[in-house]
Amino acid sequence: MRFLLMCALGVTLSSCTLLFDPDRVIYEEEQRDAGTGDASMRDSGMPRDAGDVDAHRVDGGLPSCGEIGEACCAAPSPACAPGANCTFEGCQPCGAPGEACCDDGAACQVAGCVPASQRCPTVTPLVDVAVPGGGSYGIDAHEVTRTQYDEWLATSPTPSGALVGEGCGGNTDLTPSASCLAAGFDCTGAGCGARPQTCVDWCDAFAYCAAAGKQLCGRYTGGEIPISSFADASSSPWYNACSSGGMFLFPTGDSGGDAADNCQFTDLGGSADAASLTGCQSSVPGYEGVLALTGNVREWVNGCDGNDAAARCLAMGGAYLDNDFFEGQCNFTNTLPRTSTTASTGFRCCELAP
């Protein structure tokens, strides 16, 4: 699985001495200067100018644990566990000398913890899926959850720039529809954070995926897929992952009964936790690990019949409210109005070519 760093906190190297215990900065500099004969800085008892300090680099120049000053998101090798912070040496438990203790994985500062609006929201891990004919791409292991979406909203995102999809110029509110959530078709209240985020429209899903550094699944090359090409594994990454390269009607095979037993659809009372449907996945090498592409909730896909707000867009995979197997087939082409919100439609993201 691959992971993406969701956001940057905008903390510059010039402020690193405020974020980290100075003794650890000195230690890092000593390690770097060992054997160089430059003892004056090491013996001075003071850290070097922050602009001269860089993090350890691994894997082609990426920092070992996020950028200095950031919360410890899932990052290049290694990622810090909750309650640890990214330092010049790698992961360091919060509460070390000179630091406040942030027990939820937020970046530690001398005076306190980075506010929620500046923290990195958690994101769904990506799974590498094979492309027919060679290569691979990334697709979320499961639908975006309510907790993940709420954490993103806590950063106060603005629907502008790259976060605005085709036909979404009038979409100024990224919050889920309150009336949709209040209808009570799915889980409501406390304890629903692991369920798929529903009651968002196509534009909201597009914005979230863009903010996460991913894309709403469309074509392998990025952008919208023509609706007429959706059920073609060589053109459609969502359909390819669902059908195991075009081999099956469902992720689990061709049996509608097996899919209904494992994938949370056909007249069920609500959705299941997004990461819980481990039986609803392909057993074919190269396609394992992607859960519930059929069933649980439908998923917005980047393919619409027009470029305005009135267009209808793909909402694929069937849902817990459907009343037969047919609607859950990977190749069943379903569309909904771009601006519609339902309690049985969510989304996941892909990592595709720009």
Antiparallel, parallel or unpaired: β 349-351 and 215-216: antiparallel
Q: Which of 11, 341, 7, 35 is nearest to 198 (CA)?
A: 341
| pLDDT tens digits, one per residue of 35-63 | 433 333 323 333 223 333 233 223 333 33
Block residue for tokens 């936790």 = 273
Return the pLDDT at 108.
47
| pLDDT tens digits, one per residue of 199-219 | 999 999 999 999 998 999 999
User: Are 128 and 100 found together in one domain?
Assistant: no
Return the pLDDT at 37.
37
User: Are 110 and 65 found together in one domain?
Assistant: yes
User: Are 129 and 240 found together in one domain?
Assistant: yes
Instruction: Identify the three-state secondary structure at position 242.
Output: helix
d(CA 36, CA 281): 55
Return the pLDDT at 152.
92
User: In the chain, which residues have pLDDT < 70?
Assistant: 1-120, 266-268, 354
| Domain coverage including residue 334 | 121-354
Count of domains for the chain: 2
User: Are 106 and 237 found together in one domain?
Assistant: no
User: Are 189 and 207 found together in one domain?
Assistant: yes
Return the pLDDT at 327.
85
Which one-letter amino acid corresponds to residue 199? C
User: Are 177 and 272 found together in one domain?
Assistant: yes
User: Are 56 and 144 found together in one domain?
Assistant: no
User: Are 57 and 135 found together in one domain?
Assistant: no
User: Are 331 and 269 found together in one domain?
Assistant: yes
Return the pLDDT at 343.
93
End-to-end CA distance of the chain: 20
Return the pLDDT at 32.
36
